[in-house]
Structure 1
Amino acid sequence: MTRERSALVKTGIVAAVAAVAGYAATLTLGRTPPFPFGPPELLVALVRIQLFVTTFNLIVLVLLIRSYVSLYRGLPNKYTRSMLVLSVALLLYALTSNPYVAALFGFSPGVDLGPFLFIPHVFVGVGIVVLFYQSQT
């Protein structure tokens, strides 16, 4: 029971740190140029939400990968290796869907899907947090 509580507390701390980092990332996002579709305020809000969620996912995934590397060193088996590969794939997904990465390569953040721009990232984030919790127990 004590181990479960400590895993839950550790997961909560990681999620809180990632949430703060995601919020900090949204504060650095300036106003984007006007786009031919939708009101610019909606665009800015949607990109901020996407930036928050993808930054949150990146932080938790980096810590999850660190956890799986530690587990793999102590117990090298197919399950741990596959969880490590899954975590790296999710990290690459989160990295490539972050608006800052697109801007780094010269693409402007465009929105034509409305809230579907960030909703898939929310579900991935929930899965990442569950994986992180499971790796702690």
Structure 2
Amino acid sequence: MKRDLKPRSITALVTGIAIILAFGLVFVLPERLYSPPWGMLPPEIAILFQIKVFITTLNFLLLLTLTAIYITLYRDLPNKYTRSLLLLSLTLLLYAFTSNPVVQVVFGFSPRPDIGVFGFLPDLFIGIAIVVLLYQSQT
């Protein structure tokens, strides 16, 4: 009994799983892993850092899925267009990985002091574009 899911359902399912995993990571990690070393953050700033960690982790997880889809597509149809899609997704994957404050701290750097909505708003827009690409790759 094979069940075929529609592209919208697959995109929603993958996005939902990535949201749950990203929320889990934000709540499991101690705050000291993504806060600056100079001490405790005010609650407003700590929330902004948590939002940044959530969005960049979500983008990373979605891009892992998108990269896997493009690898499969490239194996089935190796041409310049699919190679470009694969390169684009790998580049965005590296961007999402390196812009995550947790990764910056793990590699010995203090997180960037992007305070305010504009610290994570560009990542939110990239996340929307990733979901659109994920949907388009299913059709």
TM-score (normalizing by structure 2): 0.87
- Aligned counterpart, 1:7: 7
Report the 3-state secondary structure (helix = DSSP H, G, I; strand = E; otherwise coil) of the residue aligned with 1:106: coil
- Aligned counterpart, 1:83: 85
**Displacement, 1:34?**
7.4
Give distance in 2, aligned partners of 1:34 and 1:121.
20
Q: Which of residues 37, 51, 56 is equivalent to 1:49?
A: 51
Could you tell me the percent identity over the aligned residues? 45
Report the 3-state secondary structure (helix = DSSP H, G, I; strand = E; otherwise coil) of the residue aligned with 2:78: coil
**Displacement, 1:99?**
1.1
Q: Which of residues 103, 106, 119 is equivalent to 2:105?
A: 103
Matched, 1:126 2:124: no
Aligned length: 132
Poorly superposed stretches of 4+, deviation over 3 Å:
31-36
Give distance in 1, aligned partners of 2:31 and 2:69.
37
**Displacement, 1:100?**
1.1
Is the 8 Å Cα contact of residues 47 and 109 (structure 1) preserved in structure 2?
no
Matched, 1:73 2:75: yes
User: 1:102 is matched by which residue type in structure 2?
Assistant: Q
- Aligned counterpart, 1:23: 23
CA offsets, 1:61-96, max 9 Å, x none?
A: 001010001011111111111010000010000000
User: 2:127 is matched by which residue type in structure 1?
Assistant: G
